[in-house]
Amino acid sequence: MSNAVIPPPLGRDDLGPDTTPVAYETDGAVAYVTLNRPDYRNAQNSVMTYSLDAAFGKAVDDASVKVIVLRANGKHFSAGHDIGTPERDFDTFYPNTATLHWDHTRGDGQPLDSNQRLAREIEVYMGMCRRWREIPKPVIAQVHGACIAGGLMLAWSADFIVASDDAFFSDPVARMGIPGVEYFAHAFVLGARRAKEILFTGQRFTAAQALDWGMVNHVVPRDELQAKVDELCAQMTEMPMQGLFLSKKAVNICEDQMGMRNAMDSVFGWHHFAHAANDADSGDSLGGMDAKSMKNAAEKKA
């Protein structure tokens, strides 16, 4: 565990336009929630994740906000979960928000055991992403640069994705012996055969491919990304809130009736079998991979 000073997660009253690790600002009826760890490619440590949760809550509570945009500062949207920065804080206690399991922290800087790892990922990954999917206001993911593994979870929790033409995506965690990230929406957002291809190969795919496969809604030049998102926001803010909320519920219900929620629960179990198997075999729940080796493998593949 690093000796880096980890700030507490930001409460709803603490969020502002210049706050790290998540910035929050509004413009009319639109709330902009901005990932703000650009030096670490917006890797998601716990303080970022809990602050992100607070930002979404602030936007939901604000009656003047009708649409939420999730975007990022720096060169990349998100490199995924933080598995190696000096501010990695998997062992730091933060108030349990999703209340789906008990506290996962140890307090001694040692790796989590299987029960603690399960508790953490139910709370911080699966639980939060599921709640964010059900936010009662439209959420647009504005994606540029890298959107890797845990970055996909953030984008897939949104209602739709607008990407710049320099965006690229991947879920390479099969290199860890793990069947994809915790929020396993792959077969629903990509289709079964494309999902298998990106998982089996660990390959990156481009914004143009993601558009062709139906994962993103629009791809535009990087310098036109914000304008395109704002254009869509302007159209949605003209709609009544009840129409937006009920339409979102209707589509989400259809996905769940097609099996998305139950499938995700099943795969989450296999995900944690993989962590436990790795730990039993080598003492490393990530199968010997770290941020650097994952990045190197991806660049070699590309």
Q: Quick one: pLDDT at residue 287?
A: 85
Q: How far is CA 30 from CA 70, 128, 267, in A?
A: 11, 22, 35
CATH number of the domain within which 49 lies:
3.90.226.10
pLDDT of residue 111: 72
Q: How confident is the model at residue 150 (pLDDT cuts 50, 70, 90)?
A: very high
**Number of structural domains the chain divides into:** 1
Q: Give the mean model confidence (pLDDT) for residues 76-104.
A: 79
* SS3 readout for 201-238: HCCCEEHHHHHHCCCCCEEECHHHHHHHHHHHHHHHHC
In a domain, 150, yes or no: yes
Check residue 117 and give its pLDDT. 81
pLDDT, residue 297, reads: 67
What is the spatial distance between Cα 150 and Cα 127, in angstroms, rounded to a whole number? 14
pLDDT of residue 11 exceeding 90: no
Domain of 256, in residue numbers: 22-225+239-300
**What's the pLDDT at 108?**
65
* 109 is a domain residue: yes
Q: State pLDDT tens for residues 173-193.
A: 999 999 999 999 999 999 999
d(CA 252, CA 261): 10
Say if 249 falls within a structural domain: yes
Of 53, 174, 28, the C-alpha closest to 125 is: 53
- pLDDT at position 109 is 64
Closest of 125, 124, 141, 37 to residue 79, by C-alpha: 37
Q: pLDDT exceeding 90 applies to what percent of the chain?
A: 66
pLDDT in tens, 273-297: 898 899 888 988 888 877 777 776 6
Q: What are the pLDDT digits (tens) for 52-89?
A: 999 999 999 999 999 999 999 999 999 999 888 888 87
| Residue 26 domain flag | yes
